[in-house]
Structure 1
């Protein structure tokens, strides 16, 4: 494949499976609201391994798995041999075979084995001996096998060595717990701000779920004799969902917290969240980190998958490059620098938009506001509804991403035939659905149009269709028209995102002003500059290692509440526009 064919854009464009969730309104005997139903796509908690030259990805609530030869194109494969409704499926290679397990809070968790997943050869090797949640298997360099698990806001993450029959050897060891007083990023709340419950319902919910962060989703990586125990916090429904880590010189510790946590964090941009994932190497030795990205509008667990370049620096610090983590990214066919900048810049932010019709509260502008949690929706369910973006002038366009939204499907989708009662909710996964059909056209003048995607004939389900043009095109208008949609629902778009190269100069650099507010918070301010559509705030514990980032639009200040107490920080603010990025100079946070 050419380099143009090896470009991806988060969230990954997967055939995410539709869920049918019917909430009873009551949890543990306490009424939290009225019964409701949600039908939406979901995938989370990605576990990716390279096995026999192919990448396999298992995610929650999929009824199967995805596989890929190149990390670019993923194909879904259904299976009825694995428990579809067990959350956070884990896959690791053990003694030359793939082993899969998943989560059960009350029943023993089974383990499955496969040497040829594409032939659906999954076999249960043991029904398990104890329940666990968010499991992760790990085989050490001496071939001993360990299991890590945990997902709670009260109990720690655990680890134990396993026998050849996958039974625990000895008692599980408690490994790590949350420490909000020292780890700012573990704090609950959107942007780490905790809003006290106001309504009676919110107070009841707080009584049930508590006010402490969830520590969950362990993943173990050994690198040059150091064991990196990665974990997620504070909650999957938050923009601050992230992965941090502890290190040790043995698989069960004792573990020491890394002040470079969180290493995977994406609180800003089009789609946020980068927690509960897996760290793996590709066939060229490059490191990657896959993680959960949130929408959480139709339902708390409405989520997507993202993949980010990762690595270990010379000091053994684990990092992810998430500076422009939802911009186009080249997946190289060989070794590469994980800090390679985005392939193209955003050209469509707050462009003019018109639509064939609009549902109340879902105007066309919602499709270009760089927020996956807002969307335009048509006023009818008829095929042929359309949305047209006007970039204002012709621009050099290289690629487009069309992000579809699930709009009020609970009123039109049939009930899933198979599922399970989870106590507070009944849930099922639709085994199949009508693929989303769209036609994407571009034009210089709004009169003559060129079709760049027509899924009515191409087939395939692409809810986050990423379209790389054969060659860059001078384009002013982008039009997206609907064909048939899943469950014959309303045409809805959360983002028409146009990428390319602007014709002007990059913005001028800005200089950050930073001050420490308290142990876990810094105030960052800067002056707006001409030509900037947004700013990327990079920060870290060394002026040359600004490994964390937070992308914002139309702001000139940010409170970083994610710091670790007792650690010194440096920060830089990069201005970015349609023509590039102006890197700011790092300054000390005092």
Structure 2
């Protein structure tokens, strides 16, 4: 009878009309374009970076680096790619985007005079010239920090990584900068005719000696993998005005590692003076499947809720192989900006009204597939010391993957959840292995089905890719209704790449048991170097992982580092291990509060005692 009930429910699910999707999961499910940054090495890969999102005339528009077009959404869940009527010959890198309500303005990064675009109807793809030839940025600088080592009147050839802002009084401003030498600049400007007013002001210099999170490298090691020290980068300026305060945001310390983050300086005027926010970073996601949250944009949705986008890091094919994430944000009444990355790569609801607490958007659907057994129809042989085992598809590491023997339809990957569990959503994350794609071909699309089974013998389709055809390297499916299943099977149809590679097949839902116990024995000790602290706790029986949470107030633990109970950080050098985290993201002279929560496949524990970290 149990099997009959399961089969009936699965059949009903498979034949049901499309249910309204209410959730999303990071990385954002868009058709990331193949780029050509490595033609000389004979490979290409899908990538996304530097997302700029604005709400314009009731729809959301997403521009990013090297996409040869942009995306439109009406709900922040479904994104449609728009091929524009014209596009810069050099394409677009790290774009700025702003709307005055009537017109959408687009500025790409550039180091020489160039044309800029705008549109009164971006939904149609029709773009017109905003500026046919930009004037050079004034080279003299205003009063500010001593730049004598750069030259008395030297400004970075720019604007690279620009950000545009229209104040309530209609005045326009531009902010820019991408360097480990130069700062973030700002200047007032006029849009028509396009011109700069006055001299640029210098605003943001990184201070890694004071701000631990601004140190470069994996977990802020300050070094490249070969041990070479490196000066961190600041980039990705974005301005947001809330309750009369101006939040000048920036990305740091570099896109290549797990700690890419967004910070902010705050002022009472659009050109400052700006003050460093001691609660920085504001968007930070160093742990989990999605690593990194830097260089993006902050926008309000239709209901007044804030969101912050960023650039997670993959880095398998090249150090700049990346994706896009979207995290809920909030501005507190006292002015603090915060972005919630807690379970930031698990499914979240997209609100349809104003909400007060971004953390309530977490669905509570837990990860059921972590390190579960995987069986596959074929496996590629070991190559150049690399293994492409099936087990890589459930290890929560986007830089390891299963590689099939070929790319023919019918290849399968099956995850055994260990017992019947309630499945609510599934995410399929592809990897690129020796893709070698250099054209936008109609053949670049993704097709597959997802099946569920209670016994591994009788299967029913629970999800599938559907028309119109598009590439979905991070395809996410919210099931129309919960499904009880032990096995989830991917059945391959088509991808445009020559090799079928899956980094992770991630299954979300509930094991229908009890959440783990609250962590006990939490200790936090700051090093003599105040940028660092060690947090430890007693292992919790049955815990799959932990969230270390911290902030500058005991009732406002806005930052999270997620780690798994079995973690030993062997990939990058061991600063986390099961029930210990060496946290290296603190600001000198700032006191903190720390707590830990545990989680398993059934839920999340109560928060541990909150302890002071002076």
Q: Is TM-score (shorter-chain normalized) higher than 0.5?
A: yes
Residues 573/302 of structure 1: CA separation in 2 closer, same or farther (3 Å cut): same
For residues 361 and 561 of structure 2, the distance between their equivalents in structure 1, rounded to whole angstroms, comes to: 15
Residues 457/78 of structure 1: CA separation in 2 closer, same or farther (3 Å cut): closer
2:301 to 282, 302, 309: 282
Aligned match of 1:113: 118
Please list, as runs of the form range in 1=range in 2, the aligned pairs for 1:467-546 lying within 5 A after superposition: 467-487=477-497, 489-511=498-520, 512-517=522-527, 518-546=529-557
**Kept after mapping to 2: 8 A contact 1:4/1:468:** no
Q: What do residues 426-477 of structure 1 show as CA deviations (whole Å, max 9, x unaligned)?
A: xxxx365420221211111111111123337773332211111121111100
Residues 134/195 of structure 1: CA separation in 2 closer, same or farther (3 Å cut): closer
**Kept after mapping to 2: 8 A contact 1:38/1:299:** no
For residues 153 and 501 of structure 1, the distance between their equivalents in structure 2, rounded to whole angstroms, comes to: 45
Aligned match of 1:182: 210
Aligned match of 2:370: 349
Aligned match of 1:405: 431
Q: What do residues 256-283 of structure 1 show as CA deviations (whole Å, max 9, x unaligned)?
A: 0001111001000011110101111111
* TM-score normalised by the chain length of structure 1: 0.90
Deviation of 1:382 after TM superposition, in Å, equals 2.5
Say which SS state the counterpart of residue 398 (structure 1) adopts.
strand
Please list, as runs of the form range in 1=range in 2, the aligned pairs for 1:6-155 lying within 5 A after superposition: 6-22=22-38, 36-83=41-88, 85-94=91-100, 96-105=102-111, 107-126=112-131, 127-130=133-136, 131-155=158-182
Equivalent pairs counted in the alignment come to 552
**Kept after mapping to 1: 8 A contact 2:85/2:127:** no
For residues 386 and 20 of structure 1, the distance between their equivalents in structure 2, rounded to whole angstroms, comes to: 30
Say which SS state the counterpart of residue 115 (structure 1) adopts.
strand
Structure 1's unaligned 5+ residue stretches are 25-35, 417-429
Aligned match of 2:184: 157
1:382 matched to 2:408: yes
Say which SS state the counterpart of residue 409 (structure 1) adopts.
coil
Residues 431/110 of structure 1: CA separation in 2 closer, same or farther (3 Å cut): farther
For residues 184 and 397 of structure 1, the distance between their equivalents in structure 2, rounded to whole angstroms, comes to: 40
**Kept after mapping to 2: 8 A contact 1:394/1:476:** yes
**Kept after mapping to 2: 8 A contact 1:242/1:265:** yes
Aligned match of 1:586: 610
Residues 395/513 of structure 1: CA separation in 2 closer, same or farther (3 Å cut): same
Say which SS state the counterpart of residue 391 (structure 2) adopts.
helix
Residues 252/16 of structure 1: CA separation in 2 closer, same or farther (3 Å cut): same
**Kept after mapping to 2: 8 A contact 1:21/1:37:** no
Residues 196/117 of structure 1: CA separation in 2 closer, same or farther (3 Å cut): closer
For residues 467 and 546 of structure 2, the distance between their equivalents in structure 1, rounded to whole angstroms, comes to: 40
For residues 609 and 98 of structure 2, the distance between their equivalents in structure 1, rounded to whole angstroms, comes to: 42
Structure 2's unaligned 5+ residue stretches are 1-16, 137-157, 566-577
Q: What do residues 139-171 of structure 1 show as CA deviations (whole Å, max 9, x unaligned)?
A: 111110000000000001110000232211011
1:547 matched to 2:553: no
Comparing 449-458 with 172-181, which one deviates more in the overlay? 449-458
* TM-score normalised by the chain length of structure 2: 0.87
1:368 matched to 2:368: no
For residues 441 and 202 of structure 2, the distance between their equivalents in structure 1, rounded to whole angstroms, comes to: 38
Residues 172/95 of structure 1: CA separation in 2 closer, same or farther (3 Å cut): farther
Deviation of 1:370 after TM superposition, in Å, equals 1.0
For residues 362 and 254 of structure 2, the distance between their equivalents in structure 1, rounded to whole angstroms, comes to: 28
Q: CA RMSD, aligned part only?
A: 1.8
Residues 566/433 of structure 1: CA separation in 2 closer, same or farther (3 Å cut): farther
Aligned match of 1:420: none
Say which SS state the counterpart of residue 294 (structure 1) adopts.
coil
Residues 196/16 of structure 1: CA separation in 2 closer, same or farther (3 Å cut): closer
For residues 370 and 504 of structure 1, the distance between their equivalents in structure 2, rounded to whole angstroms, comes to: 22
Deviation of 1:94 after TM superposition, in Å, equals 2.8
**Kept after mapping to 2: 8 A contact 1:377/1:492:** yes
Say which SS state the counterpart of residue 82 (structure 2) adopts.
strand
For residues 196 and 287 of structure 1, the distance between their equivalents in structure 2, rounded to whole angstroms, comes to: 35
1:235 matched to 2:254: yes
For residues 227 and 220 of structure 1, the distance between their equivalents in structure 2, rounded to whole angstroms, comes to: 7
For residues 146 and 109 of structure 1, the distance between their equivalents in structure 2, rounded to whole angstroms, comes to: 19
For residues 69 and 441 of structure 2, the distance between their equivalents in structure 1, rounded to whole angstroms, comes to: 10
Q: Which is richer in strand?
A: 1
